[in-house]
Amino acid sequence: MKNRLKELRESHGLTQEQLGELIGVSRQAINAIETEKYEPSIWMAFDISKVFQCSIEEIFLFEESQRKSRAQQSRGVV
């Protein structure tokens, strides 16, 4: 899933580690979300949206991504 997390994080002067601490995850988790290697749960997305005081939809872009979602991978979609 495409996202604007890195852009928002940097505009707020936060490191990956600092953002991770604010929402209770590792720096590696933040990196994986930013690079579209991991799709956060709705609860994690909600926590992230609270940090930046914006809607989930302003951070996570619900459009077609080059990477397959976990749901597509589990269904064997090519």
The pLDDT value recorded for residue 75 is 74
The pLDDT value recorded for residue 62 is 81
pLDDT band for position 72 (50/70/90)? low
| Model confidence pLDDT, tens digit, residues 23-64 | 999 999 999 999 999 999 999 999 999 999 999 999 999 875
The pLDDT value recorded for residue 71 is 66
H helices of 1-78, in order, are 5-11, 16-23, 27-34, 42-52, 56-59, 70-75
Q: What top-level class would CATH report for the domain 2-75?
A: mainly alpha
The pLDDT value recorded for residue 65 is 55
Domain segments of the chain: what residues? 2-75
